[in-house]
Amino acid sequence: MKFNPANNIQDLQYFGEFGGVNPSISDSSTYTFISAKTMLDTFEGNTDGCYLYSRHSTPSNLYLGEALAAMEGAEAANVASSGMGAITPTILQICGHGDHVVSSRTIYGGTYAFLKNFTPRMGIETTFVDITKLNAVEAAITPTTKIIYCESVSNPLLEVADIKALSVLAKKYNLKLIVDNTFSPLSISPVQLGADIVIHSLTKFINGSSDSMGGVVCGTSEFVNSLKSVIDGASMLLGASMDSLRSSSILKNMRTLHIRIKQHSMNAAFLANKFEKEGLKTIYPGLESHPSHALFKTMMNVDYGFGGMLTVDAGSLEKANALMEVMQEKNIGYLAVSLGFYKTLFSAPGTSTSSEIPEDERKEMGLSEGLIRFSIGLDNDIERTYKIMKTCMLEVGVL
């Protein structure tokens, strides 16, 4: 049977305490025990269905984690208070002093800064590679390498990782393949393609209303439990736990994710085609001109399209800034970082989300100054949006 992540979410059934159609929110930080012996067993991790303290787990967090694990087809998942709150403990759970990471060089700025500037303080070194060059990935692997880290569709250049091929490499060298799937939920299912661990920032498409932060780590039950261990679990001990009120609201938003992703993808594909025809340098995995278009097609769950992210090169930072300001004035969207909102969001990564990456490295990876990253919104009338965008582009001389 074909893997269908939206069906997996749809088929979950949780009732609330009084027969409510939504699960009850557990509005407590701590939990009572009838017997003192059960408390000890729970501390030692021997009791299922018993809650101890909300940094460890809560019913609401477990519901959301189950839904996300179902979406990815993973055994288990652990939610966190942000995407970085999912990424950093995952890396630290696997790597210690003397260990090595092979990472894509085009990744989220925060992840890049963590691997480049922060983990070396703990004796963890990272080699950054062009993830689309498998021989470069393999050549970077050393006897101390523990992780291959990448994003399925990378931020902001929308490079596509060949997850199947990377997972073959990971197995050959006994490494964990970690894939950040934030840009392509539903469209790509990395666990189905061989990834060991899948991470999302829930802050983006999955929650989709730009009102909450959240993150998740999906993987084997063994790994997810290790993150939550009271003895040496990085999630438990570093403490980026999600609040139950947040997890219950993100779970409700997840139920419309498939509808939103289809609309984001349809709108982004429409605009990308138009921009390219106008002669603008446009990057979108759904365009045949995208170097990994064919690869994306072999990996995707076709119902959900190529995603809502695209980039356009405005030619210079001045033009990019002028265009973004005019588009905001005309209410086409907002000049803001982040993604997955009902409105289109745009920013120039070179001076915002990727400014952690030094200028010479940005140049080398093709992250030009005039690059604008768009998270295309849920616009009902994308032709109207396009017409207004075009007048903005003509006004500032991008067209």
Ligand X SMILES: *Cc1c(COP(=O)(O)O)cnc(C)c1O
Residues that bind ligand X (CB under 6 A): 82-84, 108, 110-111, 151, 155, 180, 182-183, 201, 203-204, 213, 215
Query: Angle at Cα 309 formed by Cα 304 and Cα 313, nearest 5°?
Result: 145
Least distance (Å) between residue 392 CB and ligand X: 25
- Please classify residue 23 by burial: count the beta carbons closer than 10 Å to its beta carbon, then call 0-12 exposed, 13-18 middle and 19+ buried: buried
- Give which of 167, 197, 164, 203 is closest to 183, Cα–Cα: 203
Q: How far is the CB of 52 from ligand X (least distance, A)?
A: 26
Estimate to the nearest angstrom the gap between the alpha carbon of 214 and the chain centroid.
Answer: 10
Q: Which residue has the tokens 């588009």?
A: 327
By beta-carbon proximity to ligand X, the closer residue of 42 and 189 is 189
**8-state DSSP, 53:** B
The CB-of-189 to ligand X minimum distance in angstroms stands at 16
Residues 6+ apart with CB under 8 A from 259: none
Token pair for 331: 């209410």
* Phi and psi, residue 149, nearest 5°: -120, 130
Nearer to ligand X, 82 or 282 (CB): 82
Structure tokens at 320: 């990019």
Q: Which is nearer to ligand X, 42 or 311 (CB)?
A: 311
**Residue 161 beta carbon to ligand X: minimum distance, rounded to whole angstroms:** 12
**Rounded least distance, CB 137 to ligand X, Å:** 19
319 vs 313: CA distance, rounded Å: 9
100-104 and 145-151 beta bridge pairing: parallel
Compute the distance between CA of residue 365 and CA of residue 106 in angstroms, rounded to an integer. Answer: 8
Of 58 and 353, nearer to ligand X (C-beta) is 353
Output the smallest distance, CB 98 to ligand X, in A. 26
Cβ 107 to ligand X, closest distance in Å? 7
Buried b (16+ CB within 10 A) or exposed e, 95-129: beeebbbbbbbbbbbbbbebbbeebeeeebebbbb
Choice between 203 and 347, CB closer to ligand X: 203
Closest residue by Cα to residue 53 from 81, 26, 86, 88: 26
Closer by beta carbon to ligand X, 228 or else 373: 373
CB of 367 within 8 A of CB of 105? Answer: no
Angle (nearest 5°) at CA 158 between 184 and 120: 95
Nearer to ligand X, 306 or 386 (CB): 306
Minimum Å distance from CB 183 to ligand X? 6
The residue of the chain with the least Cβ separation from ligand X equals 83
Q: Nearer Cβ to ligand X, position 100 or 204?
A: 204
CB of 38 to ligand X, least distance (A): 35
Nearest residue (CB) to ligand X, 39 versus 336? 336
